[in-house]
Amino acid sequence: MNKPVPGASEAAGLVNEMRMLVQTAEPTTEFGDRDQLEHLVSARVATVLMVLLVMIIFVTSALPDVGPSLAKVVEAHL
């Protein structure tokens, strides 16, 4: 848990290294076709919504199991 605090020279070196990574990174692809961009955004939004729906389904299906066992734990400690 006790990590030494990096010195100013180490922090400066890290910042310089990150600057070099940003400057040498490949540029992102530009979307000249508006339909392609719309399709990409729509697909990502749909994916996020589906993942959110699946998470909600799993969480709500687990709640009936958690409720009674949680009540027993609370009752045992009271």
Where in the sequence is the domain holding 60, given as residue range(s)? 8-77
For residues 7, 10, 11, 12, the Cα torsion angle rounded to the nearest 10 degrees is: 120
Phi and psi torsions of 31, nearest 5° = -95, 100
Domain total of the chain: 1
Prediction pTM value: 0.43
Give the per-residue pLDDT at 64. 67
Query: Does a structural domain hold residue 29?
Result: yes
Q: Helix %, strand %, coil % for the chain, to 5?
A: 80, 0, 20
Residue 1 lies in a domain: no
* pLDDT in 10s for each residue of the chain, 78 residues: 456 555 666 777 888 888 888 888 777 667 678 888 899 899 999 999 999 999 888 887 766 666 667 677 777 877
- Interatomic CA distance for residues 67 and 51, integer angstroms: 24
Give 14's contacts (C-beta < 8 A, 6+ positions apart): 6
Domain membership of residue 16 (yes or no) is yes
**Is 2 inside a domain boundary?**
no
Residue 24 has a pLDDT of 84
